[in-house]
Amino acid sequence: MTRPDPETAGAVEEQGPAQAGPDDGEPTPAAGSDLPPAAAGSDLPPAAAEDYEGPRRRARREREERRAARDRAIAIEQARREAKRRVAGSAGESVKVPASGAIRGLKVLLWSALASVVAVAIGLLLYFTPIMSARNVVVAGLSAVSREEVLAAASVPSGTPLLQVNTDAVAERVAAIRRVATARVQREYPSTLRITVVERVPVVVKDYPDGPHLFDRDGVDFATGPAPLSLPYLDTDNPGPSDLPTLAALKVMLALPPDVAGQVGRIAAPSVASITLTLTDGRVVVWGTNDRTDEKALKLAALLTQPGHTYDVSSPDLPTVK
């Protein structure tokens, strides 16, 4: 038997292990597996082998984690910007409202000041210049009083600015005319002054040495001269606006119906309790006091339709005719 050469035998021994295949008992990991040879050929249970993370899985996980971290950072940044915008918007609104209100208030103040200045300027212009002056004077309500007498009493120079005319003072001067009961003065822009007078109306007349004097409803002696024929004569001691018998007699005359008052020729009032009327045809009316004057006037109008000479209405509950 031929013995092998020792060198050749050594080479064969060295090649033997290198050419060992799958049948030699050493498992070879599959191509593309994430498990290392140690894990693939180890005796680990299947669950442990599944939990093992290989390089590819780890790389994929890291990529997913980086992507999630980036998305989270972007979301946080957007939320931060949105919160900042909300804060800036609320602050802007809170500042804007007072600012707009202040501007409005300032505008109102400026316009008010301007209006005041314009009003004062117009007032000064009208007060000190003849732009609106009393160039026309209109007098209304005249009957017995002449226009010249009213203008003389008013004493308003032509061309006087209307704002300088004291209407109350002018009215008082016009009312001082004896025949004028009341006077009213009005400004009518641009250049008219209107004076409206109410003349006194005579109710009774009384004879005096200088002639007959006319008295109005208030007992004011306002004129001297010929009296209208329809006026009754007043027979009192001290006629005047403060004399009680005079005022009582005037009250009776004002209460009588016009057709009855036109028949009275004289009224005597020696006192407030003994008033007597004398008609133009000579009949006499006993009036008595001036109590229940309106009722007595109605009873007298009915009694005068009956024939008689003396008509007594001093007691209106029991009037008599004699």
Q: Where are the domains of the chain?
A: 133-199, 202-321
Fold type of domain 133-199: Ubiquitin-like (UB roll) (3.10.20)
| 255-294 tens-digit pLDDT | 999 999 999 999 999 999 999 999 999 999 999 998 999 9
What local confidence, expressed as pLDDT, does residue 7 receive? 44
CATH code reported for the domain at 202-321: 3.40.50.11690
Residues 221 and 262: beta-carbon distance below 8 Å: no
Q: Say what the pTM is.
A: 0.60
| 207-236 tens-digit pLDDT | 999 999 999 999 999 999 888 888 999 999
Does the fold of domain 202-321 match that of domain 133-199? no
How many CA atoms lie within 13 Å of 46's alpha carbon, on the beta-carbon side? 0
Q: In degrees, to the nearest 5, what angle opens at C-alpha 267 toward C-alphas 266 and 272?
A: 170
What local confidence, expressed as pLDDT, does residue 180 receive? 96
Distance of CA 216 to the CA centre of its chain: 46
Q: What three-state secondary structure class fits 274?
A: coil
Residues 173 and 155: beta-carbon distance below 8 Å: yes
| 64-110 tens-digit pLDDT | 888 888 888 898 888 888 888 888 776 555 545 556 777 888 888 88
